[in-house]
Amino acid sequence: MGAQGPTGVNGATGAQGLQGPTGAKGDPGGTGPAGPANLAALQDSPCTIAGVQSTLDVKVDPLTGVVSMVCTPLSGNLDITLSLGTGVTLPILGGTQVTLGDFSALLIDSAGTTRVVRFASTGSPSIFGASFRFVFPGSYGLTLQSPVGMRSTASPAIPLTVTIQIGQQTDAHFVVTAASAP
């Protein structure tokens, strides 16, 4: 037998064969955690507003079925009462008797933003009240604003520093210790 000759050129690739059958189905995975069974299950879920931790308030209108979801800030409330000190009377300005309802409460945050609420009758003729609702947690300056054209002093000294905490009611009471019209 003689020497082997050189290898020849490869031939052309043949046509693609048919696809084979699909393999067997694998075992199912484990059951995941249960999701909410209804919208009420979403009530009080955590959410954030401007970086402030808040909770979700979910409501369904029973007549229309319209669903509303509102992210409500975790906040606190501040109630202020105002009364006159013993022997203090309020002046008459422009022919009108000044009352405690002519005063306002001012709540000032660390950025200098001011919220103003006018005092209103509490049902007692000698005590008026003002309320700030949904106040973000933190320290605030609380002061009184006298009616235009009048000067007054109060106890405790103003501005008073108040601290608002999540879910807490904060109360403050001021007594007008002097009032005069220039």
| pLDDT one-digit tens code per residue, 98-123 | 999 999 999 999 999 999 999 999 98
Domain match, 85 and 52 both: no
Could you tell me if 64 and 120 lie in one domain? no
- Give the whole-angstrom CA distance, residue 95 versus residue 91: 10
Residue 42: predicted pLDDT: 85
Amino acid at 83: S
Digit-coded pLDDT (tens) for 22-54: 888 888 888 877 766 677 788 888 888 777 778
Q: For the chain, what is the domain count?
A: 2
| Claim: this prediction has a pTM higher than 0.75 | no
Please give the Cα distance from 165 to 74 (Å, whole number).
9
**Whether residue 139 sits in one domain with residue 60:** no
Same domain for 114 and 167 = yes
Task: For residues 69 and 80, state if they share a domain.
Answer: no
Residue 22: both structure tokens together: 């699909």
Domain boundaries, position 155 = 76-180
Centre a 10 Å sphere on the Cβ of residue 66 and count the other Cβ atoms it contains: 9
Two structure tokens written together for 91: 């002046």
> Is 32 a member of any domain?
no
- Tell me if 29 is assigned to some domain: no
Averaged confidence pLDDT in the chain: 89
Q: What is the CATH number of the domain that holds 81?
A: 2.60.40
Assess whether 69 and 105 both reside in one domain.
no
In a domain, 27, yes or no: no
Q: CA–CA separation, 82 vs 104, rounded Å?
A: 10
- Coil/strand/helix, residue 40: helix
125 and 140 together in one domain: yes
